[in-house]
Chains A and B, each alone.
Chain A
């Protein structure tokens, strides 16, 4: 299986999550299949926030769901707390569920409109029969207060009475109810207004500190990611391009795709020097990815070698890994 390399893994640091050569395929029309995640490896050390960034369709959500085994994978391994999730029998997997939670982009539709806020937050506790009714009710109040909501005011209201930002707070409270170790956030602020985004990002930081969470933070927005992550992994068409700390990746992107992403962000400063578009075109279909380096059809530095040989992740500076034959 041609992967994108594993040089960036840190087995000696006792990772809480370790993903190797993960492949997720979807059946497309006819006999074709799409490899939405095509041999991805990464690991997470306790307390880290790994950001997964990339453009629409590169496989971020698929990756997020596959590592929690919410969808089946067709290859590779996912080890969480030392246990191979993909090989776990269903009942044992179920026992692991509370420790791994996910929150989604659209906070409004991810909450059942028929239920009150209190019931939504209590539900996971009830399902897992945690505590007595009174204990659960107290815990719900604590969680609501922790995410910045006035428990007495919101308890009995329904999700549709709240704004997107408040619904995202409710989702976060719900996902924290079972005290997870790992929280996968899939575009948690993309549907929110700028002024509300900052509130939710700060809340996630607070929750991370307070509950000692380890996070995977999926986003298409590099600026958002910069604020919250301790490590960033850039994806393109189901593969990893670059892995580095957030400051490094912005100051010195070495992969041509990362560079294009960084320089495409419109800076809120009319006096900043204007750069013309770094790359042309749009990503090709994942059903029929280019040979060699998948980015080569849009890459300004592509050579013949790039069409033949798939680049593997290599360390170009301490903690900085790039999969490119001709890094910048």
Chain B
């Protein structure tokens, strides 16, 4: 991960797109102050709600969790304790974080489950996580995350492990909650379809670098980066005729431990020139605010 700059505006939704190994999860964790330890070297700044939190010790960052920031993951089981009932887990977090008494916490837990559209909240409170489907578990995790009305929700591939019909339900739920609770969301995904439908802004990562940033509609109508273009083209589409060959990007992501000089996309880029192989292009901001990292952007500079 190098030189990443991301602003999530209050109450908006930022999509963070990239393929595996592009640094999406690392970035989220760094922003939440969860990346601390011997093998981590980080620098830069993380400003949340006007406070600089990038250099705070973990314990101090934690006080922003819940009411400030919350996070949901691809695998909901990582956030749930398999041997405790849903009700006691959810109520406990309300007692700890909001200082509610047990009775009030239990009632609020049921309300939260209803809010995330779990059909029978009372019965679900008495169940163990293993007794729920993946989609229902993710709803429980979302309920926990929004319990303290956070201002910013990090959602790291929240629907990747779910079936497509359930994915659609969860994404709609997240969009509705975001609007109703006036909450900002950073939605990490590899799926440009998800980004197109559920975000206001998009950041595209490639090999640990931000390569493009723009409002969602702009990104899709006038993308600047060759990588973003290639990614969009290689998605199988329903409006393509069947049986033909698919457009594709050759090669693969560069090895992060052994980066070559120049633009990381150069070895796969259809527009590559000599300069791209020796110099890393800087992040450039066009007059309209569209940010990209390319010497020869699609449609030219400006």
B-binding residues in A (CB < 8 A): 55-56, 163, 165-166, 193-199, 201-202, 205, 220-224, 226-230, 245-247, 250, 260-262, 264-272, 274, 276-283
Q: Mark B13-25, 1 if CB is under 8 A from A, else 0.
A: 0000001100000
**How far in angstroms is the closest Cβ of chain B from A257?**
9
Q: In the complex, how many angstroms separate the beta carbon of A126 from the nearest chain B beta carbon?
A: 30
* Given A163-B252, A277-B172, A264-B230 contact (CB < 8 Å): no
**B191 at the A/B interface (Cβ < 8 Å)?**
yes
Contact segment of B41-49, B61-69, B233-241: B233-241
Chain B residue numbers with a CB within 8 Å of A199 are 248-250
Q: How far is the CB of B149 from chain A (nearest CB, A)?
A: 25
State which of A224, A245, A270 has its C-beta within 8 Å of the C-beta of B217: A270
Q: Is the CB of B245 within 8 A of A202?
A: yes
- Nearest first, the 7 A-B pairs at minimum CB distance are A266-B193, A198-B248, A55-B163, A246-B242, A193-B19, A264-B168, A198-B234
B231 touches A195 (CB 8 A): yes
> Are B236 and A268 within 8 A (Cβ)?
no
Pick the most buried of B134, B217, B230, B237: most chain A CB atoms within 10 A of its CB: B237
Cross-chain contact of B193 among A201, A268, A283 (Cβ < 8 A): A268
Would you give the shortest CB distance from B266 to chain A, in whole angstroms? 15
Minimum distance in angstroms from B273 CB to a CB of chain A: 21
Task: Give Cα distance in the complex from A281 to B231, angstroms.
Answer: 32
Least distance between A224 CB and chain B CB atoms (Å): 5
Chain A nearest Cβ from B162, distance in angstroms: 8
B194 lies within 8 A of chain A by Cβ? yes
Q: Are A226 and B164 in touch, CB under 8 angstroms?
A: no
Residues from chain A with a CB closer than 8 A to the CB of B252 are: 163, 165-166, 195-196
B10 to chain A, nearest CB (A): 21
- Cβ of A247: which chain B residues have Cβ within 8 Å of it? 241-242
Residues of A near B236 (CB, < 8 A) are 197-198, 201, 221, 223-224, 226-227
B222 contacts A by Cβ under 8 Å:
no
Cβ-neighbour of B172 out of A227, A270, A276 (below 8 A):
A276
Q: List 15 A-B contacts (CB under 8 A).
A: A56-B134, A198-B249, A205-B243, A205-B245, A226-B242, A228-B243, A246-B242, A247-B241, A266-B191, A266-B198, A267-B238, A268-B192, A271-B217, A271-B221, A282-B133
